[in-house]
Chain A
Amino acid sequence: MADPKFPAAPERVAVVGGGIMGGGIAALFAANGIPVTVFDVTEAQARATLDKLADPDQKLPQLTSQRHLKRIAAASTEAYPELLPKHDLIVEAVPEVLSLKQRVFTAIDQHRRPGSIVATNTSGLSIRSIAEGRSDDFRRCFLATHYFHPVRYLPLVELIPTDDTAPDLLVGYGALLRRMGKKVVVGRDTPNFIANRVGIFAMLKTVELALKYRLPIEAVDQITGPPLANPKTATFRLSDMVGLDTLLHAAENSWKNAPAGALIGEIEPPAVIRALVEQKRLGDKTGEGFFKKVGKGEVLTLDLDTLDYRPKREARSDVVRVAKTYSRPADRVRAMVEGGDEPAAAFARELVLWSGAYALDRVGEVCDDVATVDDAMRWGFGRDLGPLQCLDAVGLARAAELMSDLRIPRPKLLEQALAAGGRLYEEQPDGRTSVFDPGAGALRPLPDDPAVLSLARVKRQPGAVVRENVNARLLDLGDGVLLCELDVKMVPSLNPVDDYVLAMLEQAHEEIDAGRFRALVIGNQAPGFCAGANLKRVLELAKAGELSTIEAMARKLQEVNLRNYHAPFPVVVAPHGMTLGGGLEIALGGQVRVAASELYCGLVEVGVGLIPAGGGCLRLLQLQSKKKNKRGNPLGAMQNALAAFDLIGFGKVSSSAEDAQDKGLLERDDVVVRSKDEQLRVAKEVALQRLEGFTPRPAEPVPQAGHGGYLVMEDTINTMVRAGKIGPHAATIAKVQARILTGGKDADMSAPSSEEHILALEREGFIELVQTPATQARIEHMLKTGKPLFN
C-alpha cells in the first residue's frame, strides 16, 4: 500500500461536529476557497453552526466575508454513505469525550473513501486511543490538529502525528495550513500537547507565586502582561476569558497524565481554582471568576485569600513602571527579572525562571526542538516571547545562576546550551536565526521558507538599504523591485504618515526614474500598515493658525498618491492590520493592492472632526462608481455619493480584506493573501507580473451627483440633527463631506468631475474644518484618550 499523498489543496472538506471549533475550522477552509460540508447529528444542528457563522452581530466573526458562506453546506451524519466519500479531508470536531470520538470515527472509518485524510481536533486527548481499533488505511491517513479559539484570530495549529501517520501527510498538512495563514508546530502525543502544557504550568505557577508573595490579582496581571512579554490579558483576565472549568480540566490532564519522573514536574491544581469551579464561578461565561462584572463597566476583583470580591485597586510598582519604558520585550523581561527586591520583581524573577526551566525540561518530551516551544507560546497565546526566549533575554548564564539561588532544578539542556556558547537563539549576520539544537549540541540556522519574505533579513543584505530617513526607507527587494518601507520608530504601532514618509515615497520615484528599479512596492512588517496622519502635528499647526502649512501637507499627500496612481511603472501597496485614514489613502493611491486578510481599514477622519484630504474621497467615490447592478449598468451618481458618504461619514472600518472589498473600501481585483509573512513576496510577484505590457492608469472622470444631490444629503443631515441623532458639529462635518462627494456647489450631474476638482474640494473642506474649535477639540480628545469625541 502506497503512502497517502496529501492533496495540494483538498477538493472538499468535511467538518464533523459543528459548534464553535467546527464552525471556525469550516470558516477557515471556506475563506481559502475550499468547499466545506459541516456534518452534525441532524441537518438542523449543522445548519445552526452555519447560522452562527452568518450572525452579523458577532464580536469576533470567524468568516472574513459573508460571501464565503456559500461554500459551506450542512448535512446530517445520516447522509454519510452518500456524501462522505466525496470528501478528501475529514476534520472531526465533536466534544472532547474519548468514547464519543471513538464512536464518531467508527462511522467515519466505515464510510470514508480510502486514502482520504482524517484529522481529529482535540486539545489534549490521547491520539493513540482515539485511533484504536481503526483500519490500517485509516491510521496511516490520520493525525490530530489542535486549533486555538477563535480559529481565525489565533494563528497556531499544533499538528500531532501518531506512529502510524504517513510522513508525507504531516508535511503536506503543515504546508496547507501555512498557505491558509496558520502557524504550524509539530508536537507529540502527550497530555495538552505543547502550548497548553507549558501555558498551564505558567498559569498554576503564577497563582502559587501570587499567594507566596501576597500579590493581589491586579498586580499579578500588571506584571504578567506586557512587562513579561505577554498580551494585556495577562493571567487572570485571560483565565476568565478561557473559562476556569476549561482551565481546570486541562490542569487536571497535565497533573494526572503527564509522565512521572520529570526533573520539573507538574503542579497540582490549587484549591482556589477548584473552589471557584465548584461554585460555578467560571469566568466570563458565568459573569464571575477572578473578576466579577457588576453593572455598567464596573468590575470587582477576587480576593485570593477570602474568595470574596472587592473593588478594583490600581496596582503600582516601580519596577513595572521602569520595565514599561522599554520598547523591546526582551528588555522589559530583563528589567523585571533584575528589578531588585521589590515583591513584583521577586515574583517576576521566579516566574520567568520556573517557566523557562519547565519549558526547557519539556523539549524532547512534547516536541523535538527548542524553537517549537517558543513558537507555540507566541502563536497560541499571542506572547511576544516564549519562555525560552525569556531565558535568553535574561542571559543563560545569569538564568542558571538565578535558578541555583532560587533552588530551581537546572535542566540538562541548560547546561548543554551553556557549554555550547550560552545562548538558545542567535541572529546570524545574514539575518537568519540560529537555534540551539540539542542533538548537535550547537546552534543551527532555522530552515528558510521560500514563501516568506522577511524585511529583517532583506535589510541584512549588503546594499539592500537604498535610502533611509527617520521614518521610512527604500529597500532593494531584488529583480528590480523597490520597497518603500513605512517604519516610524517613535510610534511603531501606528506608523503615521508624515513629511518623512512622503519624502521617501517621492524619492522612490527618483530611484525608479533613474532606471535603477522597475517597480515599487509600498509596505512594511510592523503590527499595522499605517494608522493615518500625524494628528499631533496637525493640531499644533491648526492652533498656531498655520493653515497654509496644513494645506501644503494635504496637497503633498494628494500629489504623492496621484503620482503613484498614474506612475509609468507598477506601484503595488501591501496594507495589513490597522490601515486607517492617510494609511488607506496611500493604499488606494496604489494601482493595485496585495492586502493581508486581516485588514482593518477605513477612512475614519470623521472621528477627529476631519474629512479625508489625501485623495481618499476621490478614490472611494471612484470605487463606488465602479459598482454595477446585475445587468451591468452603473448605479447612478447619487448612489455612488451616498455609498461613499456611508463609508466616510460613519468612519466604517473593515473587519477583513474581503469585508473591505464587500464594503467598497478596496477594489474587487485587489489580491488578498492569508499569510502576512507571505504578503510582501506576493506583492513583489504582482509588481513583476504587471511589468509585462504595463500601461499607466489613465485619469478617469469622476461621476458627480451635483448640487441637487448635495441638497438631498443636506436635508437628510438636517433631519438627523433635529431628531437628535447627530450633534451640530457632526452635521457640519457631514455637510463638508456631502459637498465633496457630490462635486461642490456648481457641479452638475451631466458633467463628470475631474480628479483635480475633487482633490481641491478635499483640501478646501479639510482647511475649513481644521480651523473650527470643535474639530480641534475632537483631535485633542483623540490624542488624550484614544477615543472619538462626539460634539
Chain B
Amino acid sequence: MELKKVGIVDFCRSPIGKAKGGALAGVTSIEIGAQVLRALLERNPKLPRDRVELVVAGTAYPEGEQGLNVSRQIAFKAGLPVSVAGVTVNQFCASSQQSVMMIADALACGKGDIGIALGLEHMARVPQGGYNPYFDPELYEKNFYIPMGDTAEVLARENQISRDDQEAFAVASHRKALAAWAEGAFAREVVAIETPQGLAEKDEFPREPDLPKMKSLKPAFDLKSGTVTAATSSPISCGVAAVVLATEEAARELGLGLRATIESTAVAGTDYERMGLGPLPATEKALRRAGLSLQQMDVIELNEAFAAQALAVIRLGGWTDVAERINPLGGAIALGHPLGMSGARIIGTAITGLERTKGTYALATMCVGGGQGASTILKRAGA
C-alpha cells in the first residue's frame, strides 16, 4: 500500500493564559476548545464538516473536565456533526503532538481524508498529577516518578549549565515573544476567547524581563544547590490549540490549500531522570526518516520545559550552530506550556515561523515526562 502525503490545512490556538488568576482561569478546557475549534472551522468554510474523519485531542491529565473523552465533547460543542469520531490520547507533554501523528498516520494509510488534532490543558482546573494519583512501589524505588524540576536540575548539574546561562536563555525567550507580539506574528495563530469578563486576546506570560528580580528568586526545586528557578521554568498555564490535517489528494479535490506537509514524525524513549534530552533521539529518528539533516531546518521549535533542559539539548545535540533558528517567536518559558496543548502549538508555531521566513523545513520537538521525546518535520507548502 502506498502511503498518502498528509499536510496541514490550518492551525489556530487560544492565547495562553495564567492558569491561576488569568483571563482564562475560570473557563474550562472544553469551552476554550470549542471556541478554538469553532473559529478554525469558521475561517475554513470550504472544509466539509462531514468529511472530517475524527478529532483526536491530547491532554496530559485526561481527568475532570479533560476526561470523559473530552475530544468528543469539544467536537460536538463546536458544531461538528455527530458522525465525526472523537479520541483522547495521553502522552504527557507530547499528547497533542501525538494527536497530530495519529491523524497523519491514519490519513496516510487511507483511513479518511481530513482529521483534526486538538491539544488542551488547564493546569489549575485539573491538578497536576490528576485527582487520584498512584505510584507503583517498585518504580518509585527506582525514582521513576522523579519530579520534572528535578530532571532539569540533573541536566544543569551534569552539563554545567549555569544559572546565568539559564536566565539569559529565559530573557531571550521573553524578548523574542514580545517582539513577535509587537510585530503581529501571532495574528493568524491566536484567536480571541470569550470569557464572562470579556475577550481574552493575548498570551499572558511574555513580559519585559527584569533580570535583577530574576536573580533574586530562590531555586524552585532544590533550595540548597539548585539553579532552576520559577523564571527559568515554563509557567503554570492553560490553553487549547487545534490543527486541521488532510491528505494532499483531498485538499486538492476540495480546494483547501495546505500550509505545510508532514515529512516525518518520531517518538523515542530516553532515561527518565534526564527526560529533557528526549528531543535528541526523537529528532535523530525523524530526520533519518525524512532523509534530512538538522542544518536543513530553517525553523526549529524546541519546547522550553526548562531553560536548563533546552540548553542541554542544544549543547549535547550539537545544535549550537542552528541556535538562532530555535524558537524565533519565543518559547514556552515566555509563552507558557499548557502541557497537552504544547505539542500542537509548536507544530503550528513552526508553520508560522516558516511562513514568516519563507523557509522550507521546520522541526517541532519536545521532551516528555517519564523520559521520551517527540519530533515532527514539516515542509512549507510551495517551498
Contacts and interface: CB of A to CB of B under 8 A. Distances in A.
Q: How large is the interface on B (under 10, 10 to 19, 20 to 34, 35 or more residues)?
A: 20 to 34
Contact of B131 (A635, A706, A749): A635
Contacts of B133: 638, 709, 712
A715 B140 contact: yes
B221 A638 contact: no
Interface string A423-448: 00000000000000000000000000
B137 A722 contact: no
Contacts of A636: 131-132
A638 B219 contact: no
Contacts of B132: 636-639, 705, 709
Contacts of B147: 715, 719
B220 A723 contact: yes
Interface residues of A, number: 18
Interface string A711-727: 11001000100111000
Contacts of B318: none
A722 B131 contact: no
B369 to A, nearest CB: 13
Determine which residue in B135, B136, B149, B224 has the highest number of CB atoms from chain A within 10 A of its CB, and name it: B135
Given A711-B137, A711-B140, A722 B129 contact: no
Interface string A73-105: 000000000000000000000000000000000
Contacts of B224: 722, 724
B135 A708 contact: yes
23 contacts: A636-B132, A637-B132, A638-B134, A639-B131, A705-B132, A708-B134, A708-B135, A708-B137, A709-B132, A709-B134, A709-B135, A711-B137, A711-B145, A712-B134, A715-B140, A715-B145, A719-B221, A722-B224, A723-B219, A723-B222, A724-B218, A724-B219, A724-B224
**Majority SS at the chain B contact face:** loop
B128 to A, nearest CB: 10
Contacts of B131: 635-636, 638-639
Given A715-B145, A715-B147, A708 B223 contact: no
Interface string A600-635: 000000000000000000000000000000000001
A459 interface: no
B143 to A, nearest CB: 10
Interface string A624-656: 000000000001111100000000000000000
A66 to B, nearest CB: 15
Contacts of A637: 132
Contacts of A724: 218-219, 223-224
Given A705-B132, A723-B221, 20 more contacts: A635-B131, A638-B131, A638-B133, A638-B134, A639-B132, A708-B135, A709-B135, A711-B135, A711-B137, A711-B145, A712-B129, A712-B133, A715-B147, A719-B221, A722-B222, A722-B226, A723-B149, A723-B219, A724-B223, A724-B224
Interface of B: 129, 131-137, 140, 145, 147, 149-150, 218-224, 226
Interface of A: 635-639, 705-709, 711-712, 715, 719, 722-724, 749
A147 to B, nearest CB: 34
A723 B220 CA distance: 6
Nearest to B140: A711
Nearest to A635: B131
A705 B132 CA distance: 8
Contacts of A639: 131-132
Contacts of B135: 708-709, 711-712, 715
A639 B136 CA distance: 17
Contacts of A706: 134
Contacts of A712: 129, 133-135, 145
A711 B147 CA distance: 13
A722 B222 CA distance: 5
A546 B137 CA distance: 36
Contact of A707 (B137, B221, B223): B137
A708 B137 CA distance: 6
B134 A722 contact: no
Nearest to B218: A724
A709 B135 CA distance: 6
A638 B145 CA distance: 17
> What 10 pairs across the A-B complex have the smallest Cβ distances?
A724-B223, A638-B132, A711-B135, A636-B132, A708-B134, A712-B133, A711-B140, A722-B222, A719-B147, A708-B135
Contacts of A709: 132-135
Nearest to B223: A724
Contacts of B218: 724
A636 B129 CA distance: 14
B330 to A, nearest CB: 27
B192 to A, nearest CB: 25
Contacts of A707: 137
A573 to B, nearest CB: 32
A4 B226 CA distance: 73
Contacts of A711: 135, 137, 140, 145
Contacts of A723: 149, 219-223
Contacts of A719: 147, 149-150, 221
Contacts of A705: 132, 134
Contacts of B140: 711, 715
Contacts of B219: 723-724
A368 to B, nearest CB: 54
A700 B221 CA distance: 40
A329 to B, nearest CB: 48
A715 B144 CA distance: 11
B228 to A, nearest CB: 10
A731 B131 CA distance: 22
Contacts of A749: 134
A293 B150 CA distance: 43
Nearest to B139: A711
Contacts of A708: 134-137
Nearest to A719: B147
Determine which residue in A639, A705, A709, A712 has the highest number of CB atoms from chain B within 10 A of its CB, and name it: A712
B223 A722 contact: yes
A722 B151 CA distance: 13
B156 to A, nearest CB: 14
A33 B255 CA distance: 63
A636 B223 CA distance: 33
Nearest to B131: A639
A551 B131 CA distance: 35
A707 B135 CA distance: 8
Determine which residue in B140, B150, B221 has the highest number of CB atoms from chain A within 10 A of its CB, and name it: B140
A559 to B, nearest CB: 33
A636 B131 CA distance: 8
A463 B326 CA distance: 88
A700 B226 CA distance: 47
A637 B222 CA distance: 30
Contacts of A715: 135, 140, 145, 147
Determine which residue in B129, B132, B149, B224 has the highest number of CB atoms from chain A within 10 A of its CB, and name it: B132
